[in-house]
């Protein structure tokens, strides 16, 4: 059985908050979250229930990218209101029966929480009453190595998640932290990033007069900087080690 959660959340968690703590049984054993994952990025995602079609495609997709996320020092954790035996039976069905995008015989290796009593789902605001009182929406929480929530995404039950976009967000967050920059609209690794805006009049004048080859000063408050995909991945993989 899932252990009683002693950390009562008075409000829904927001970006910038410390991830609410919980202990839970998973398909890989008991976890103490987020303490067991300090030092790693985490993608915590929920799905409405076991043996649902859209969720099945998402599980296969997450598993197919597990090594890509591992290279980015990122752990995947799923959550469902189903019990452990139900999760395991679903995993067996995925392995034995499902062929999605030519992925077949997939073994789900990341832990999936059994949240029968909805404690974790309620703690993280995954239950939206106007949708369902007992099924979680498709929530995604990206949590950094300090246990801080950095991104929250919600999808309706009918719409599958875009895992490439989730990975893009993860890389953008890690790039911002590693290089102290921001990423513009539609950014992909290898495209120019955005330098922080000057905070003083003196720095503003320096920025406007800067003629560095790798800087594109559009205005004092908007400056693009070249940052290669290779340099990004070298830095991110170095941080993992």
Q: Which of 150, 181, 153, 177 is nearest to 165 (CA)?
A: 153
Token pair, residue 240, equals: 């993992």
Domain coordinates in residue numbering, the chain:
22-161, 180-240
Does domain 22-161 fall under CATH 2.60.40.10? My reply is no
pLDDT tens digit sequence for 42-96: 999 998 888 989 999 999 999 999 999 999 999 999 998 889 999 999 999 999 9
Per the document, the length of the chain is 241
Token pair, residue 197, equals: 């805006």
pLDDT of residue 2: 46
The percentage of the chain sitting over the pLDDT mark of 70, rounded to a whole number, equals 90
Is residue 5 reached through a cis peptide bond, with omega within 30 degrees of 0 on the bond before it? no
Give the number of C-alpha atoms closer than 13 A to the C-alpha of residue 120, restricted to the C-beta side: 30
In angstroms, the CA 124 to CA 11 distance is 9
pLDDT of residue 125: 83
**For residues 166-184, average pLDDT:** 97
Q: Is the pLDDT of residue 6 over 80?
A: no
Query: Number of H helices and number of E strands within the chain?
Result: 7, 12
pLDDT tens digit sequence for 116-160: 888 888 889 886 655 554 455 689 999 999 999 999 999 888 889
Token pair, residue 118, equals: 């909805």
DSSP class of residue 148 equals B
Token pair, residue 88, equals: 């395991």
Token pair, residue 54, equals: 């859209």
Measured CA distances, 167 to 55, 71, 102, 171, 209 (Å): 18, 11, 21, 6, 36
pLDDT of residue 13: 92
Question: Torsion-angle region of residue 165: left (phi > 0), alpha (psi -120 to 50) or beta?
Answer: alpha
Q: Is the pLDDT of residue 210 over 90?
A: no
Active site residues: 55
Q: How far apart are the first and last CA of the chain?
A: 36
Q: How many CB atoms lie within 10 A of CB 9?
A: 15
In angstroms, the CA 33 to CA 21 distance is 5
113 pLDDT band, cuts 50/70/90, is very high
Token pair, residue 207, equals: 């920025």
């Amino acid at each position: 059985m899932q252990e009683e959660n002693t950390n009562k959340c008075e409000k829904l968690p927001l970006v910038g908050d410390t991830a609410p703590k919980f202990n839970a049984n998973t398909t890989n054993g008991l976890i103490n979250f987020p303490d067991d994952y300090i030092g790693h990025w985490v993608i915590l995602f929920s799905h409405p229930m076991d043996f649902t079609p859209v969720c099945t495609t998402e599980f296969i997709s997450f598993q197919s990218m597990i090594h890509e996320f591992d290279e980015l020092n990122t752990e995947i954790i799923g959550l469902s209101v189903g019990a452990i035996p139900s999760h395991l039976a679903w995993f067996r069905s995925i392995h034995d029966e499902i062929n999605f995008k030519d992925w077949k015989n997939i073994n789900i290796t990341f832990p999936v929480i059994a949240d029968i009593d909805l404690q974790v789902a309620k703690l993280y605001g995954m239950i939206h009453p106007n949708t369902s009182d007992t099924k979680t929406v498709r929530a995604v929480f990206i949590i950094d190595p300090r246990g801080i929530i950095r991104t929250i995404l919600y999808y309706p039950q009918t719409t599958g998640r875009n895992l490439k976009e989730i990975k893009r967000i993860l890389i953008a967050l890690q790039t911002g932290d590693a290089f102290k920059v921001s990423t513009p609209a539609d950014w992909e690794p290898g495209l120019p990033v955005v330098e922080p805006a000057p905070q003083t009049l003196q720095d503003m004048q320096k920025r406007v007069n800067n003629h560095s080859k790798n800087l594109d000063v559009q205005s004092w408050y908007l400056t693009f900087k070249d940052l290669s995909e290779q340099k990004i991945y070298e830095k991110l993989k170095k941080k993992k080690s």
